[in-house]
Structure 1
């Protein structure tokens, strides 16, 4: 895994006020697509890429159904999935209307300890990556004819 070192001034902890070097992961620019993931999973397997994709889609559907019914789902070596939502506060119980007060329903994933760990990682130092320019930076550069 690639990493870069950057100098930072610490604002908390035993090194408060001191400049220290901190490593940051440098992720690959290429994102692995769903098709590529299925293809890699199908390698050295008797299961085809289409079958693997079908299992993922079915898993998503079943997981959504179960969590919608309030179940916590044990995903084995992956971790657990549970339903959660945001609720507005009301002053009187009779003012609570689920359709209006409950929002942002979602599934919360908690990876297992084993799934969270990266295995067989080798580290390679690379140069600090430049941050991507946002739309505002690009627009300022065009307006000023130079740097934002």
Structure 2
């Protein structure tokens, strides 16, 4: 049941709850590209909030995913120099970059190929995007938990 409220935190909670429901439903139904799009939205939102707070820069909606990750890395490095208690997690950054590469392949390879060359066989494509969606779900959870921990600090 949806709560009708103009309160930003309530609305944000409702959006996240719906995103997680849709992500799970999409994966269960085999709609991996939809799940990946939702995962990117969740990851982007959490990282943007952190970067804007710590890095002090505005991240626009149209900012590319990799650019956001680079801003995250810079914000973590800048913050570490100020000796704050934020967690500088280089492994998380590497996982974010790798998943971003997988996300790009998943989104663009369904029909894209060089002229005169065949596309990836559909069963291979579906297996790859399924794995990307599964990894993205784990990464979105990890980023959400990481963000909650950062807010506590």
Q: TM-score range by the shorter chain?
A: under 0.3
Of structures 1 and 2, the one with the larger relative CO (CA 8 A, separation 6+) is: 2
The TM-score, its normalising length taken from structure 1, stands at 0.26
TM-score (norm. length: structure 2)? 0.25
User: Greater CA radius of gyration, 1 or 2?
Assistant: 1
